[in-house]
């Protein structure tokens, strides 16, 4: 149907406007109806759009809303584009999004900014849909910036807390760095492809008329944008701090949807990356390094949300690893499964935090399994899913990533696979560590907190159950094969079924090893692990300090920049040049005023003398020049 | 023509004399008299040019200026009188405080 996609995109915008303008006045009933109802409606429409797409056998649906600008032979249109990739993304965004909206009803109950919260969340959904459905890079970029804005607003949702407001700012500024790369990449692509519509960009690049160097540069520049949004090294520093926002926000924006925008961008422009092997190799290396380093940090974090944040960075690294070896569909597959189990984990963490009245330190938890059984059950399933235990969702997608990291003919290598596998082991280890420390063993809670422990309302646990269910079955769809007509899988350099089975078996063994290791190390409140860390104290300090990247940036960028701002911009530019020139003008006026007041002395003779001088001067002048 | 030149020179001298008087004298009434002298110098030149150019309008203008000068002095002298009544001196330097 004509206008379907436009309607889909505009629904959450309507929610934002209604809740933002009227929500406070009309009460929570209205806010819930609009804030939760519209996302579910949007999900329904996304489903319908997907059905329409499938009825047309996957032929892309294009909807032009209006022509924005026609400049010479180029025209820029606001158009929506639905193919299987964007349909999958739209379904994830609206589906998981709607569930998290529903969850928020319980989580944010009684918050002062309830209406504002839902308005922001709907705004996020609007921009995210713009991002995934835009046909042109231009529309995508608007969505890209928009979700950044929504993320900023929601991280700093409790802005009275300076640390939280600061975290929001950090996220925003770090993203700007990536956006600079994104913009430059866009300019470069436009210069050579003459269009910003992504399907046509892919066609142009696939035709092979663009030099490899240009494709590589464009690929790397766009990837810099992706590292910002998707928190890859070196721009990963904002995501852990982004946990300052409400937990459902962390689940929706900083785990399931927004941070995967970079993955979507690269997958969407796969035509460019297929022509740029060097850029792809870079992506694979950055991806696997991010995955590994973030996993090691997650191993020692003590804040429940920080562990999940680093886990998210690590999983995003896996996705980029897949993208880097040309397995675009596999990356989207992992994105899909990750959306479910990571949302389930974050919401589960939210439920734990809710039960413990705001406590986030896992050293002060333990033994919660029997007290909040629904949360525990769903959290355990999601943990098993992310760890890669069969037959849960994470197993299928992660296995495919590792397989292509090893066997892809487009950059697969043993070292990528080895580091990836090691990361998979670490993933299982830190996730089960979290499970053990939070839910199992003896309680280490403060007595005050312990008395108040309660299971969350059904709107929250219900959502957890749905997400856990999808964490189980999400991997059975074989999404990468569904996307294959659009994003073909790379040719294999090691085409051996036996090897593939061996790799699957090895991955399962790794996951089980992680489980056993965690169960052994973190029994009894983690005492064995503590003893182990005693021996590697220096390593522990490095991991605990997150490799001191923040400190490094502080030394390398922030302080010099502060110095330059202070000395050059503030003292020299602002105070000396701008203020100085203004003050100079004022002083000139004042001094001349002082001089001229002498003239008006009130003495009649003085005036007469001046008249005399004036007359003489005029006479001389007349005599000379006339 | 020499008559006219002579008369114009006299007019200029009258004006200069008046101006010097205004500048150097410190008595308000005397200064007013010198002002009249300057005005007369100007009027003399006006009369000369009226004659030279044969413009009757000039003669009319001259009488107009006389009337204005009479009115001006009629206002100026009472002002001086009031000033002297308040300040007991004819020196204009004592009234510098009257500046705007």
Q: CB neighbours of A49 closer than 8 A, spacing ≥ 6?
A: A4, A5, A8, A61, A82, A87, A90
| A497 CB within 8 Å of a chain B CB | no
DSSP state of A573: I
Give the separation between CA A554 and CA A538, rounded to whole angstroms: 22
Q: What contacts 24+ positions apart, CB below 8 Å, involve B61-68?
A: B65/B39
Instruction: Quick: pLDDT tens for A163-178.
Output: 999 999 999 999 999 9
Q: How confident is the model at residue A10 (pLDDT cuts 50, 70, 90)?
A: very high
What does the pLDDT read at residue A254?
A: 87
What interhelical angle do B28-53 and B56-87 show, nearest 10?
180
Give the separation between CA B82 and CA A479, rounded to whole angstroms: 108
Tokens (6 digits) for A431: 């996730």
Nearest CB to A602 within list B22, B31, B99? B99
A618 vs chain B: nearest CA distance in angstroms? 15
- Stretch A270-298: mean pLDDT: 93
- Record the pTM: 0.81
Lowest mean pLDDT, pick from A244-248, A328-332, A341-345, A444-448: A444-448
Give the separation between CA A351 and CA A450, rounded to whole angstroms: 15
What does the pLDDT read at residue A450?
A: 82
Q: How confident is the model at residue A127 (pLDDT cuts 50, 70, 90)?
A: very high
- Stretch A65-72: mean pLDDT: 88
What does the pLDDT read at residue B100?
A: 64
Give the separation between CA A353 and CA A365, rounded to whole angstroms: 10
pLDDT at residue A258 above 80?
Answer: yes
Q: How confident is the model at residue A467 (pLDDT cuts 50, 70, 90)?
A: very high
B98 vs chain A: nearest CA distance in angstroms? 7
What does the pLDDT read at residue A497?
A: 84
Cis amide linkage into residue A234, ω under 30° from 0:
yes
Buried b / exposed e along A408-446 (16+ C-beta atoms within 10 A): bebbbbeebbebbbbbbbbbbbbbbbbbbbbbbbebbbe
The pLDDT mean for chain A works out to 90
pLDDT at residue A81 above 70?
Answer: yes
- Stretch A76-94: mean pLDDT: 92
What does the pLDDT read at residue B54?
A: 86
- Stretch A507-519: mean pLDDT: 92
- Spell out which residues of chain A touch residue B23, defining contact as CB-CB under 8 Å: 605, 608-609, 612
Query: How, if at all, do strands A61-71 and A74-82 pair?
Result: antiparallel
Q: Using the structure block, give the residue that is written with the tokens 């193919």.
A: A83
Q: How confident is the model at residue A452 (pLDDT cuts 50, 70, 90)?
A: confident
What number is the ipTM of this complex?
Answer: 0.82
Query: Which sign, positive or negative, has the C-alpha torsion A520, A524, A526, A530?
Result: negative
DSSP H stretches of helix in A134-197: 137-155, 162-193
Nearest CB to B23 within list A600, A601, A608? A608
pLDDT at residue A337 above 60?
Answer: yes
DSSP state of A242: G
Tokens (6 digits) for A334: 């992992």
Nearest CB to A609 within list B23, B31, B92? B23
Beta-carbon pairs below 8 A across chains A and B = 29
A563 vs chain B: nearest CA distance in angstroms? 53
Taking 50 as the pLDDT cut, the residues of chain B under it are none
pLDDT at residue A1 above 70?
Answer: no
- Largest distance between two CA atoms of chain A: 117
CA atoms within 13 A on the CB side of A599: 7
Give the separation between CA A121 and CA A100, rounded to whole angstroms: 10
Tokens (6 digits) for A514: 């992680």
| Percent share of chain A, pLDDT over 90 | 58
CA atoms within 13 A on the CB side of A161: 12
DSSP H stretches of helix in A252-303: 261-268, 270-274, 277-298
Instruction: Quick: pLDDT tens for A192-213.
Output: 888 899 999 999 988 888 889 9
Q: How confident is the model at residue A18 (pLDDT cuts 50, 70, 90)?
A: very high
pLDDT at residue A621 above 90?
Answer: yes
Give the separation between CA A198 and CA A135, rounded to whole angstroms: 6
What does the pLDDT read at residue A384?
A: 93
Q: How confident is the model at residue A249 (pLDDT cuts 50, 70, 90)?
A: very high
């Amino acid at each position: 149907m004509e206008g379907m996609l436009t309607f889909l995109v505009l629904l959450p915008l309507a929610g934002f406007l209604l809740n933002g303008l009227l929500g406070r006045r009309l009460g929570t009933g209205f806010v819930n109806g609009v804030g939760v109802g519209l996302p579910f409606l949007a999900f329904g429409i996304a489903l319908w759009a997907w059905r329409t797409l499938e009825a047309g056998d996957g032929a892309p649906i294009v909807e032009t809303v209006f022509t924005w600008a026609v400049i010479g032979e180029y025209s820029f249109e606001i158009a929506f584009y639905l193919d299987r990739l964007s349909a999958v993304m739209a379904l994830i965004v609206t589906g998981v999004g709607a569930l998290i909206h529903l969850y928020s009803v319980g989580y944010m109950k009684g918050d002062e900014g309830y209406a504002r919260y839902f308005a922001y969340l709907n705004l996020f959904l609007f921009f995210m849909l713009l991002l995934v459905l835009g046909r042109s890079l231009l529309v995508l970029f608007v969505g890209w910036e928009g979700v950044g804005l929504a993320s900023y607003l929601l991280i700093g949702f409790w802005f009275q807390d300076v640390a939280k407001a600061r975290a929001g700012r950090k996220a925003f500024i770090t993203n700007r760095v990536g956006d600079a790369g994104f913009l430059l990449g866009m300019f470069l692509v436009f210069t050579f492809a003459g269009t910003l519509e992504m399907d046509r960009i892919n066609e142009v690049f696939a035709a092979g008329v663009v030099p490899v160097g240009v494709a590589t540069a464009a690929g790397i520049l766009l990837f810099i944008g992706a590292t910002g949004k998707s928190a890859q090294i070196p721009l990963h520093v904002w995501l852990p701090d982004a946990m300052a926002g409400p937990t459902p926000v962390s689940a929706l924006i900083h785990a399931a949807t927004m941070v995967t925008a970079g993955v979507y961008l690269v997958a969407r422009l796969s035509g460019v990356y297929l022509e740029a092997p060097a850029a792809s190799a870079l992506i694979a290396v950055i991806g696997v390094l991010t995955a590994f380093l973030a996993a090691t940090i997650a191993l020692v974090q003590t804040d429940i949300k920080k562990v999940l944040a680093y886990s998210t960075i690590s999983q995003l690294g896996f996705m980029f690893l897949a993208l880097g070896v040309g397995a675009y569909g596999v990356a989207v597959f992992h994105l899909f499964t990750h959306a479910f189990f990571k949302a389930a984990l974050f919401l589960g963490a939210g439920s734990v935090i809710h039960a413990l009245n705001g406590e986030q330190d896992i050293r002060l938890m333990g033994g919660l399994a029997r007290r909040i059984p629904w949360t525990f059950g769903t959290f355990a399933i999601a943990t098993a899913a992310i760890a890669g235990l069969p037959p849960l969702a994470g197993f299928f997608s992660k296995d495919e990533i590792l397989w292509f990291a090893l066997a892809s003919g487009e950059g697969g290598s043993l070292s990528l696979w080895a580091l990836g596998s090691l990361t998979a082991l670490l993933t299982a280890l830190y996730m089960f560590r979290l499970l053990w420390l939070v839910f199992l063993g003896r309680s280490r809670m403060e007595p005050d907190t312990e008395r108040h422990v309660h299971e969350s309302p059904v709107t929250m646990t219900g959502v957890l159950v749905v997400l856990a269910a999808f964490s189980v079955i999400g991997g059975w769809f074989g999404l990468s094969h569904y996307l294959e007509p659009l994003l073909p899988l790379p040719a294999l350099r090691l085409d051996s079924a036996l090897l593939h089975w061996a790799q699957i078996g090895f991955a399962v063994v790794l996951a089980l090893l992680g489980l056993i290791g965690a169960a052994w190390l973190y029994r009894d409140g983690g005492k064995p692990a503590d003893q182990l860390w005693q021996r590697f104290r220096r390593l522990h300090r490095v991991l605990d300090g997150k490799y001191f990247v923040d400190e490094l940036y502080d030394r390398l960028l922030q302080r010099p920049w502060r110095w330059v701002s202070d000395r050059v911009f503030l003292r020299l530019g602002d105070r000396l040049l701008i203020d100085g020139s203004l003050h100079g003008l004022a002083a000139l006026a004042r001094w001349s005023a002082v001089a001229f007041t002498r003239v008006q002395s009130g003495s009649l003779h003085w005036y007469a003398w001046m008249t005399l001088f004036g007359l003489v001067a005029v006479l001389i002048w007349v005599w000379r020049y006339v | 023509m020499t008559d006219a030149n002579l008369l114009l020179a006299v007019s200029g001298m009258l004006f200069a004399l008046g101006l010097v008087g205004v500048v150097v004298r410190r008595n308000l009434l005397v200064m007013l008299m010198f002002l009249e002298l300057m005005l007369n110098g100007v009027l003399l030149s006006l009369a000369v040019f009226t004659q030279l150019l044969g413009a009757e309008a000039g003669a009319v203008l001259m009488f107009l200026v006389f009337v204005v000068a009479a009115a001006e002095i009629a206002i100026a002298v009472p002002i001086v009188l009031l000033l002297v009544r308040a300040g007991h001196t004819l020196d204009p330097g004592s009234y510098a405080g009257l500046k705007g």
